[in-house]
Amino acid sequence: MKYELVAGFETHVELATNTKIFCSCTTQFGGEPNTHCCPICIGLPGTLPKLNKKVVEYAIRAGLATNCEIAEISKMDRKNYCYPDLPKAYQISQYDKPLCNNGYIQLSNGRRIRILRIHIEEDAGKLVHSRGSTMVDYNRGGVPLIEIVTEPDFRSVDEAREYVEKLQLIMRYIGVSDCKMQEGSMRCDVNISVRPQGSDKLGTRTEIKNMNSISFIAKAMEYEYNRQVDLIESGEKVIQETLRYDDVTNTTSSMRGKEDANDYRYFRDPDLVTINVPRERVEEIAATLPELPSVKLERYINELGLPEKDAQLLVKYKKVAEYYEESIKDTKNPKTAANFIIGQIFRTVENESEKEAFNINVSAESLNELIKLIDSGKIRMNLAKSTLDKMLETGKKPSELLSDSDMAGLDEGALDALCQQAVDANPNAVNDYRNGKEKAIKAIVGFVMKNSRGKADAVAAEQKIKSLIEG
């Protein structure tokens, strides 16, 4: 029998506010344990929370960017459970009246992953296990989160991977989170079940908690799918439970039985007022949203004429896309800047985090200056490439590296002389070309380009060389 994977995601995204959701403690990552907390965020008796307005605004931005409806009226609730990293023995969250509802993210295959809700809540502390002891660090407690909950719409691991990548990119573009999974500012809980292919009935689901790597999510989903299929085919039942993933053994293991909503005994938090978001305020926030990645990608392909793969590489990193936009201002060919960035510049940026930061020696203005020199015909592409290499090494502008003679070009007589020298100096390549090896001409043209320091027009040089050989 063939089986179908069915999965849904609950993604926690830490919001990039300066202070926590209910107090003025810093949200800065790191710090000595228990130094970023106060009586409010550790829940001492007599303290009262006050909702951070910026948290609501960021959640609305996230909702609008994922095609959600924004609720005019929502509220905060208490989610009750006892765990050492939760000092109040409850988490302040949202239950039946979340801030955002009924959104979606569209995948490249045309399918939409429906977003059931986005709600705001506080993060818990962190347990640290060492040498048989468990300690708790409450620095993270009270950091504002949004939880993005999908319908069980995933049918493959590839769809799940694309969804997480797109969601991460959207959140970065709109500026609500850095989504650094390695630092825990984006974490996914994955609910998985399997069912016979063609069936409409959902199987018993398990939940893999706190996945903080896209590659681990993919591996965990593959393993859990196969585990559930093996259980069913062996005549056993899948147990509804919460699992942890071990990346060393590539296995999942049970943490506890899976809770349902009634286990948390939700009730309205009596210390926090109703959240009222007028339509006018939603429209104001919507007006501040930047161009979203999917829209930018389409524009790069259809309006700027970039190949889809090139456009995807530029859009994938927000700062790279911003750099690219600056570098092509008032230039004639947008592909020139794309080639420089994806080729020479990316070779100096070693990994994903460096591409996300994109702190390079060459400013967008300097690259723009270099491209305009190409557009105006003052320098040829070979010279531009070697100049860009020097710019990346030194941080200097083109005007500091190129002399007037570099930008003067070659007159007709000088080009004729260089082409004759190239033919005389490369008899083997000349013979190869005469014997039908078309590519041999490139070596002769290369001689001209090298000896002209890139100032020669390669196309014109090739025509002259062919005339000399064939004449």
Contact predicate 76/61, CB 8 Å: no
Alpha-carbon gap, residue 409 to 383, rounded angstroms: 11
Angle between helices 293-302 and 308-315 (to 10 degrees): 150
Alpha-carbon gap, residue 334 to 301, rounded angstroms: 11
Q: Block means of pLDDT (10 residues each) for the chain, length 471 residues?
A: 95 97 93 94 93 98 98 96 91 97 96 98 92 92 97 97 96 95 92 93 93 94 96 93 92 76 87 96 97 96 96 95 96 96 93 90 96 87 90 93 67 80 88 84 85 76 83 67
First to last CA, the chain: 74
Contact predicate 461/449, CB 8 Å: yes
pLDDT recorded at residue 123: 95
Going by their DSSP bridges, the two strands 112-122 and 100-106 should be labelled as antiparallel
pLDDT recorded at residue 405: 57
Going by their DSSP bridges, the two strands 241-246 and 206-211 should be labelled as parallel
Alpha-carbon gap, residue 11 to 150, rounded angstroms: 9
Closest CA to 63 of 111, 119, 123, 122: 119
Its pTM stands at 0.84
> Quick one: 122 exposed, middle or buried, by C-beta within 10 A (0-12, 13-18, 19+)?
buried
| Domains of the chain listed by start with CATH number | 3-285 (no CATH), 291-401 (no CATH), 412-470 (1.10.10.410)
The two tokens of residue 84 are 């050492």
Alpha-carbon gap, residue 141 to 41, rounded angstroms: 6
Alpha-carbon gap, residue 126 to 183, rounded angstroms: 12
Contact predicate 285/64, CB 8 Å: yes
> Quick one: 163 exposed, middle or buried, by C-beta within 10 A (0-12, 13-18, 19+)?
buried
Q: How far is CA 202 from CA 128, 152, 199, 217, in A?
A: 37, 9, 8, 21
Contact predicate 210/145, CB 8 Å: no
